[in-house]
């Protein structure tokens, strides 16, 4: 059952400048929500936002300014953690500092924001919705960093959900498959950059295989769900009295979930073929 719209409800949507976050901001605004959105410094902000906050989610001082700004909001009913990035690369070509950056963005920032705003959410029986990924269940070749960040996000959300259940704060992780956003183009640029920085033998060993994987992904993304369709599902979950704890959306996400259930030895053989 979906609750009736209330104009005063306020949602904080991270990553509202593009992709899934932008589509969620648009959908919530249409439904009468007041939307506060974060965008990257210098990024064009969508006009549907009632308030725009330029934030670097990997920078402590920038996130602290975001949280101070949220203290000025009369109420906070929901948080949608949609900001994120992928970092496709073989493990041999992944510098530790880039791995730390990705985990800071995809894992630490959304949990830090959610925890800081928990007192506000408790007052209104609020919602925390975090955008995970199907790869948070099964890591694929050249996607270990992304999978690790999303698996950690889901694990932390599972623990948080249990801890705040008695406060009637609902925590949901949405695990979509492929979504037609700009993430694939950004991923290709990141992969090229990381391989260019790697040792020559690492480049020779992996570049063709990484490019082939990205080409296959491009074909999949061409048939993928739109961010607008995903945004409708996310908005529905925010307005549901008892949203599901974890929600798989899209055939790729369901395929990975099934793959995660088969015996480890067989799963390892299947995953190895994808490399």
pLDDT digits (tens, 9 = 90+) for 68-91: 999 999 999 999 999 999 999 999
pLDDT at res. 219: 80
Residue 3 has pLDDT above 60, yes or no: no
Q: How far apart are CA 202 and CA 196, in angstroms?
A: 10
Q: How far apart are CA 152 and CA 87, in angstroms?
A: 16
Q: How many residues does the chain have?
A: 275
Q: How far apart are CA 266 and CA 202, in angstroms?
A: 27
Mean pLDDT, the chain, integer: 93
pLDDT at res. 223: 84
pLDDT at res. 275: 85
pLDDT at res. 217: 84
Q: Taking CA 161 as the corner, what is the angle to CA 34 and CA 87, rounded to the nearest 5 degrees?
A: 75
DSSP run (H or E) holding 51 = strand 51-54
Alpha helices in the chain (DSSP H): 19-30, 60-70, 96-103, 109-116, 118-123, 144-164, 183-197, 200-222, 227-239, 251-259, 264-273
pLDDT at res. 1: 34
Q: How far apart are CA 55 and CA 42, in angstroms?
A: 10
What percentage of the chain has pLDDT greater than the value 70? 97
Are 93 and 34 in contact by the 8 Å Cβ rule? The answer is no
Q: How far apart are CA 24 and CA 229, in angstroms?
A: 9
Are 8 and 32 in contact by the 8 Å Cβ rule? The answer is no
DSSP state of 23: H
pLDDT at res. 181: 86
Residues 6+ apart with CB under 8 A from 16: 22, 24, 25, 35, 37, 38, 39, 45, 46, 49, 52, 82
pLDDT at res. 222: 80
The model's pTM is: 0.93
What percentage of the chain has pLDDT greater than the value 90? 87
pLDDT, one tens digit per residue, over 207-257 is 999 999 888 888 877 888 999 999 999 999 999 999 999 999 999 999 999
- Tell me which of 3.40.50.720, 3.30.70.1250, 3.30.390.50, 3.40.50.20 is the CATH number of domain 10-273: 3.40.50.720
pLDDT at res. 221: 79
Q: How far apart are CA 6 and CA 158, in angstroms?
A: 28
pLDDT, one tens digit per residue, over 124-136 is 999 999 999 999 9
pLDDT band at 36 (very low <50, low <70, confident <90, very high): very high
Residue 121 has pLDDT above 50, yes or no: yes
């Amino acid at each position: 059952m979906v609750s009736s719209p209330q104009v005063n409800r306020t949602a904080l949507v991270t990553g509202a400048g593009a992709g899934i976050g932008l589509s969620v901001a648009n959908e919530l605004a249409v439904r009468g929500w007041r939307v506060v959105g974060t965008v990257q410094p210098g990024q064009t902000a969508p006009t549907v936002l009632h308030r725009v906050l330029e934030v670097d989610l990997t920078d402590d001082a920038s996130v602290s300014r975001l949280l101070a700004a949220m203290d000025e909001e009369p109420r906070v009913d929901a948080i949608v953690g949609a900001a994120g990035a992928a970092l496709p690369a073989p493990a041999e070509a992944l510098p530790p500092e880039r791995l730390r950056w990705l985990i800071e963005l995809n894992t630490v920032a959304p949990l830090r924001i959610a925890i800081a705003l928990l007192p506000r959410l408790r007052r209104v029986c609020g919602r925390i919705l975090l955008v995970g990924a199907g790869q948070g269940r099964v890591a694929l070749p050249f996607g270990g960093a992304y999978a690790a960040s999303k698996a950690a996000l889901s694990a932390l959300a599972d623990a948080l959900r249990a801890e705040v259940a008695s406060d009637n704060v609902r925590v949901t992780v949405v695990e979509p498959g492929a979504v037609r956003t700009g993430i694939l183009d950004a991923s290709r640029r990141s992969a090229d950059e990381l391989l260019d920085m790697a040792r020559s033998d690492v480049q020779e060993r992996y570049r063709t295989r990484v490019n082939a994987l990205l080409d296959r992904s491009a074909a999949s993304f061409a048939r993928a769900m739109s961010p607008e369709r995903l945004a409708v599902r996310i908005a529905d979950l925010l307005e549901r009295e008892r949203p599901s704890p974890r929600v798989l959306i899209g055939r790729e996400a369901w395929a990975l979930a099934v793959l995660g259930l088969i015996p480890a030895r067989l799963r390892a053989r299947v995953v190895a073929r994808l490399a």
